[in-house]
Amino acid sequence: MLRRLTAQLKSAVELDRAGDDLDDWRPVKVRNALVESVAVRSRLLIDFLYGYGSRADDTLAEHYVEGKWAPVELDRRARVSRT
């Protein structure tokens, strides 16, 4: 889902760069919903992989790996803000 949503937003950026009217592509409400959905799904994926802010009942990637789960260090600029 995240990959498809990102592709949708990428096509919007390409249309905008080409000078096309984005309202012909999607109304502003739909574009805002796409952006919000990408942000929420990105945050969920990061939480799943890295366990940020996890609670005892959260399902994390480490639950599916034998041994110690050690994700690659995530660049702070790549994180989706939780604020």
5-54, pLDDT tens digit by residue? 888 888 888 887 888 777 777 778 888 888 898 889 888 888 888 877 67
| Mean pLDDT, rounded, for 66-74 | 79
pLDDT of residue 83: 44
Using 50, 70 and 90 to split pLDDT, how confident is the model at 78?
low
Entry pTM: 0.65
Distance CA 19, CA 13 (A): 10
Distance CA 50, CA 40 (A): 15
Q: Judge whether residue 81 has pLDDT over 60.
A: no
Region of 5 (left: φ > 0; alpha: ψ -120 to 50; beta: rest) is alpha
